[in-house]
Amino acid sequence: MLNKLFCFAACLSCLVFVNKRVQAQGLGIFDNQTDVGINKLPGGGQYDAKTQQYELSGAGQNIWATHDDFHFVWKRMKGDFILRTNAAFIGKGVELHRKVGLMVRSTLDSNSKHINAVVHGDGLTSLQYRKTVSGITEEKKASITAADVIQLERKGNTYTMSVARKGDLFVTEEVSDLDLGDEVYVGIFICSHNADVTEKATFSNVRIIVPAPATLVPYKQYLGSSIELLDLETQNSTIVYQSPRSLQAPNWMKDGKALIYNSDGSLFKFDLKTNTPVQLNTAPAKNNNNDHVLSFDSKMLVISSGDGGPSIGYTVPVTGGQAKRITAPGVGASYMHGWSPDGKYLVFCGQRNKEFDVYRIPSGGGAEEKLTNTPGLDDGPEYTPDGKYIYFNSVRSGLMQIWRMKADGTEQTQITNDDYNNWFPHISPDGKWIVYITFFKNEVAPDDHPFYKHVFLRLMPIGGGPSKVIAYLYGGQGTINTPSWAPDSKHLAFVSNSDLLFPVFPKEK
């Protein structure tokens, strides 16, 4: 018996101190990768720069009890952060408790304090954690199984797991007072739950986000921005450009070759082949905000400019040039949101007599016409491609929800009715779908759509029906304030935010 105890102690000592480090080669946003614990079958991680996806292989007996054996692709981090990924096993697998997920560890020792958000081979989805070195692992099970989307957020010593099956809203579990130290290892992992078996998994939409600090002054201080392109079929999103500046509201041009976005009061045309932006001339309009829209033929822009006063609407050629004022100064702010398909009208959110309503005005200028007339904010109006309807968002029912009316303002009908704040409906070019952005009601007021919040992009059929989440992100103001559909109705452009920029993605020089 004593010999058995001695052998167990000796083995545990090996588990604690042995790990194999593999030099980082093309690991995307991560620093390195490691086989943690005893792994007689070495693991590995590969990064596909085109799809921005990772494929991991790994063995390992388990991640449980007093020690762990698995493969880990990681980055060193300090402070608060949000980790997120879509994870999926490759193949049927051998063990029901093979594991993939996100992890935060104090060290790379196998007995380290840690926390992980994990999906098992049998679908069990849970938050697992070890509070002390060589302590027993504890677990909180999620209310769902077989999650596809995994998020793990740290705020001080509180860790929150948010998980969902692809298309669904998050459910959460939380652990507080877990002290892993300020500087930790964060990353993605795989464990086969069988020392003699290697398993594989793919990780897409992998993000490490540094959120806004509590001291950030809204609309005066900004986080960095990423322009992302989302494939609706695969729901894989790729980052095409990053900047330490605030990039906002990408429009997709009709030829599919470029985007128009706003930054620092100017508009830029972004070439999707070269990943380079060029500033557009919009003089005399200055201090342009993120309410700008392309005409249906992509020849003209309507923009909103607040140069020292309330926002005013202008039109300007898409190539840049002399801007023409459309809305009258001195009557209140005008935030431009849509063109009619025939190019004859513009629709906008106008502040008049201390109320915000939807208005339309001839695209060449003229008398404006009020289309909504209810207390509270009506915003984000946009025409359907056939010109028959205008979709908009309204706070009239309590929370911000999506509404529809005929082009003349009649038959105003509520489209969404849930427990979230829903903004900025955008109709696909083929007229079949609506995408909109969703804020949590406990994070924002119904009439507000601030920067730097947890948000969803959701998709619903144009005729109504269940909505599904197509993107889980950290963003808000500027993410999709304007129509951002690709001309093929199969892709979207949007902006996400983080205070940390990674050199693997194209970025502002």
**What are the tens digits of pLDDT across the range 475-501?**
999 999 999 999 999 999 999 999 976
**What are the tens digits of pLDDT across the range 361-375?**
999 999 999 999 999
Res 5 pLDDT > 60: no
**What are the tens digits of pLDDT across the range 19-35?**
333 334 489 999 999 99
What is the model's pLDDT at position 274?
95
**What are the tens digits of pLDDT across the range 390-401?**
999 999 999 999
d(CA 116, CA 222) in angstroms, rounded, equals 30
CATH class, 224-498 region: mainly beta
Maximum Cα–Cα distance for the chain, whole Å?
95
What is the model's pLDDT at position 307?
78
The pLDDT confidence band at residue 508, using thresholds 50, 70 and 90, is: confident
Res 7 pLDDT > 80: no
The pLDDT confidence band at residue 13, using thresholds 50, 70 and 90, is: very low
What is the model's pLDDT at position 504?
78
| Position 201, amino acid | A
- Tell me which DSSP letter residue 373 carries: -
What is the model's pLDDT at position 313?
97
Those residues whose C-beta lies under 8 Å from the C-beta of residue 296, and which sit 6 or more positions away, are 254, 339, 341, 343, 385
Those residues whose C-beta lies under 8 Å from the C-beta of residue 214, and which sit 6 or more positions away, are none
Instruction: Please compute the mean of the pLDDT values over residues 411-431 and round it to a whole number.
Output: 98
Give me the count of residues in the chain: 509
What is the model's pLDDT at position 297?
95
Those residues whose C-beta lies under 8 Å from the C-beta of residue 10, and which sit 6 or more positions away, are none
Q: Please report which helix (H) or strand (E) contains residue 120, including its range.
A: strand 114-120
Q: Please report which helix (H) or strand (E) contains residue 362, including its range.
A: strand 355-362
Distance spanning both ends of the chain, measured CA to CA:
66
> For residues 140 and 126, is the Cβ–Cβ distance under 8 A?
yes
Alpha-carbon 163 to chain mean position: 14
Res 8 pLDDT > 50: no
The pLDDT confidence band at residue 275, using thresholds 50, 70 and 90, is: very high
What is the model's pLDDT at position 501?
67
**What are the tens digits of pLDDT across the range 319-348?**
999 999 999 999 999 999 999 999 999 999
What is the model's pLDDT at position 10?
34
Res 11 pLDDT > 60: no
- DSSP letters spanning 96-161: TT-EEEEEEES-SSTT--EEEEEEETTS-EEEEEE-STTPPPEEEE-SSSS-SEEEEEEETTEEEE
Q: What is the pTM of this model?
A: 0.94
Res 220 pLDDT > 50: yes
Alpha-carbon 495 to chain mean position: 8
> For residues 190 and 42, is the Cβ–Cβ distance under 8 A?
no
Of 183 and 11, more confident? 183
What is the model's pLDDT at position 354?
93
Q: Which CATH number fits domain 14-209: 2.60.120.200, 3.40.980.10, 3.30.830.10, 2.115.10.20?
A: 2.60.120.200
Instruction: Please compute the mean of the pLDDT values over residues 410-437 and round it to a whole number.
Output: 98
Res 257 pLDDT > 80: yes
d(CA 426, CA 432) in angstroms, rounded, equals 11
Q: Which two tokens stand for residue 32?
A: 């390195």
**What are the tens digits of pLDDT across the range 162-204?**
999 999 999 999 999 999 999 999 999 999 999 999 999 999 9
Alpha-carbon 504 to chain mean position: 18
What is the model's pLDDT at position 506?
80
**What are the tens digits of pLDDT across the range 97-150?**
999 999 999 999 999 999 999 999 999 999 999 999 999 999 999 999 999 999
Quick check: helix, strand or coil at residue 367?
coil
Mean model confidence pLDDT for the chain = 94
For 315, counting Cβ atoms within 10 Å of its Cβ (0-12 exposed, 13-18 middle, 19+ buried), the class is buried
Residue ranges of domains in the chain: 14-209, 224-498
Of 155 and 23, more confident? 155
